[in-house]
Each structure stands twice: as structure tokens, then as C-alpha cells.
């Protein structure tokens, strides 16, 4: 699904339009950041494009770059806020298999402390150099198939 102004069934679009309340932290003409209503910790932020885009394939390069500039800015603000923040995780889930639950692209900015309960469970794999080289070749081929002009998805 390409970018559109709003999706009437999207909770984040309702926040953008003012139909749902949110504790707004940052806003410009393209991006909105607000406090997560179900935070992992105090200071847990969500950063979204104002236009409705579901995932990474739907957002153009300029908007994505701007979104991450705002994430960078907010990370600085979080670290200087006085809230407990000994580290930061930035997280983006793209698709159901990645556990995306709201299908409006969003970036989580999680403040971390040494004693928090935040965990990502990962089973790290061992891969041979030949398998890694094969994976790299497949991704390069995918880039060629999806070749686009800068600034376009």
C-alpha cells in the first residue's frame, strides 16, 4: 500500500488527525512522535510518518531519512530529559512475521537501564562463509530487480 493522507481504520492516523489523544513530543509537517500508551519504560517513544504507510516498502527515501533524523534528535532529548536512560534501543518491526502489530510504519525509541526487564530473544546462528556469500549474492540480485531512482520506493 502506497502513502496516503490517512487510513480511517488506523489508530496512528487517528492520532495524527487529532481524533485520538496522544502525549505528543515532536511534530513537523511530515513526522509525529508521541509517548507509547503501553510503554516498556517511562520515556518510551513512537515516531511515525504522518502520511499512512504500512511498511518499509511503502515509504520513500527522503521521508525515511527525515524520520531517522527525528529519531536521532529524540534520542538526544531522551538522554538529556532526566528520565532514567542509560542506553537506547531503536526498533522497527516490518510485517507480521516481524511482530508488527500496528500497520502504520513506526519506530520505537526505548530508553534502557541496566536493571530493566526489556528483552529481545534471539537464537544467533552459525553460517559458513559460502552460505553468507550466497545470501549476499541473492540480496544483490534483489537490489537489481528492485532498482529504483533515489527518492522513490
Catalytic residue among 52, 72, 104, 106: 106
Distance, CA of 113 to CA of 133 (rounded, Å): 37
Q: Is 38 a catalytic residue?
A: no
Active site (catalytic) residues: 106
Amino acid at each position: 500500500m502506497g502513502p496516503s493522507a490517512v487510513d480511517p481504520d488506523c489508530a496512528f492516523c487517528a492520532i495524527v488527525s487529532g481524533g485520538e489523544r496522544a502525549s505528543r513530543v515532536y511534530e513537523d509537517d511530515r513526522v509525529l512522535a508521541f509517548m507509547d500508551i503501553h510503554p516498556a519504560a517511562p520515556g518510551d517513544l513512537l515516531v511515525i510518518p504522518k502520511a499512512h504507510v504500512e511498511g518499509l516498502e511503502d515509504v520513500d527515501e527522503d521521508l525515511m531519512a527525515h524520520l531517522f533524523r527525528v529519531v536521532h534528535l529524540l534520542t538526544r532529548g531522551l538522554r538529556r530529559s532526566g528520565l532514567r536512560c542509560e542506553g537506547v534501543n531503536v526498533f522497527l518491526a516490518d510485517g507480521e512475521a516481524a511482530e508488527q502489530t500496528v500497520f502504520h510504519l513506526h519506530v520505537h525509541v526505548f530508553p534502557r537501564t541496566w536493571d530493566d526487564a526489556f528483552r529481545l530473544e534471539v537464537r544467533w546462528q552459525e553460517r559458513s562463509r559460502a552460505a553468507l556469500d550466497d545470501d549476499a549474492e541473492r540480496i544483490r540480485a534483489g537490489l537489481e530487480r528492485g532498482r529504483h531512482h533515489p527518492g522513490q520506493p
